[in-house]
Structure 1
Amino acid sequence: MMGQKEELMGKLAEAVVEMDIAAVEAKCHEALEAGIPAFEAITDGLSAGMKKVGELWNNMEIFMPEVMGSVDAYYAGLKILKPEIKQNEKTSYLATVVMGTIWGDIHSVGKDVAIPVFEGENFKVIDLGLDVPVEKYIEAIKEHQADFVGLGTYMSETFLHVKDCVEEFKKAGIRDQVFVICGGPAVDSDFAKEMGADDAWNDAWEAVAGMKKLIAQHG
């Protein structure tokens, strides 16, 4: 069974890398029929594939169109596997991340890439969507006891909203309970820190490394 499982998870991961949605869907169904727990199929198959995509991206062997193709394949598999996760399955996470595109901004590409990358590194992600008001961030941070709040911003003018968010987090008494991180092509790490955030990245894989570093430093 172990050899069969490893082979099947390897093929599922490969299908994600190859952007082969039909193969991903077939391997997900095959995994469930073989008795592989859905959560394990996600982590050892889908997420492992996205981790490989990250390695290829960092080595400049693939580019954004290929990344987005793999993201689509990942979500196709997730649609099959996620409803099959049983309550008693092991679902321990490194940290919980509440994230969304900041208000005034309706771009989604970066967030859609970041979510499977974060999940592939064992972060639990709560997706708040687009054009997210600060009140919704605060509500979600409290509800999910989040460790990180991710503020997605793709325009310079919406990047400035980070300062407003941090101030509202302070007023709500939650700033010291959560790491505030920013993502998107408009972000700058130094400026984000000046506005009160903990850090910022414009690359999902760099963000993972940075988030793990924050956990290690403050854990």
Structure 2
Amino acid sequence: MNTLQSDSPVTGSDSKTLSADLAEQLCARIRNDRLAPGTRLGTEADLASEFGVSRTVVREAVGSLRGLGVVVGRQGLGLCVGEADNFSTVLRNALVPQVASPEGWRELQQLRAVIEIGSISLAVELISTEEIIRLQTIVAEMKRVMHNFEQDPEGTSKAYKELDCLFHETILAASHGNFVQQFHGVLLDYFHAGDLYGHPPRESGLREHEQIANAIADRDVDLATRYLTQHLQPQLKAPSAE
């Protein structure tokens, strides 16, 4: 059973903290398990029992999530994942006009670079050993994939692009900024779906990923920031630049 309870009596302020924690855990479950709209989460009583909190705490947590459209109430089912008004959907709808032109794409690429560079110092500070190992494993897999480029350029490019996205997603996840991570994830989804994300695999790009991963593993904020900025420099050019 998941639990948010402490051994101390729950005061009014404690209740607010517990409800915020519960709301965050429910959002994480929806995001990490990729729960589809309409998926049943349970009744208030179910959630209170599962997380070891009072129904008042559940009601407060659910109230905030209802306001954002993350969850909805369904008669006979209880609480379900919201249909369309969640944060990522709002972002996607807002970004649709941006992908209609090359200028819009360049602006999105620039925004993505700014988000990553702005988050790198926090990521270096908070990254776990498991996440460091994951970055290093991704780089090792990039090296393996690169060996097949001459034999299968198309397949190699696709596999490398997926690893590239995973590498940058891991860095953002390490910063533990949920909204920033979701925003960045939406941007990466757009780039990943089209041909404008990244370039064919290059040895220089592989070295840059390795330098970034090593600097993060050494918890060297200045070096990690420098290498990441160099890596994303093409995307930091003004949108009107040729």
TM-score w.r.t. the length of structure 2 is 0.28
| Greater strand proportion | 1
The structure, 1 or 2, with the larger RCO (C-alpha pairs under 8 Å, 6+ apart) is: 2
TM-score w.r.t. the length of structure 1 is 0.30
Larger radius of gyration: 2
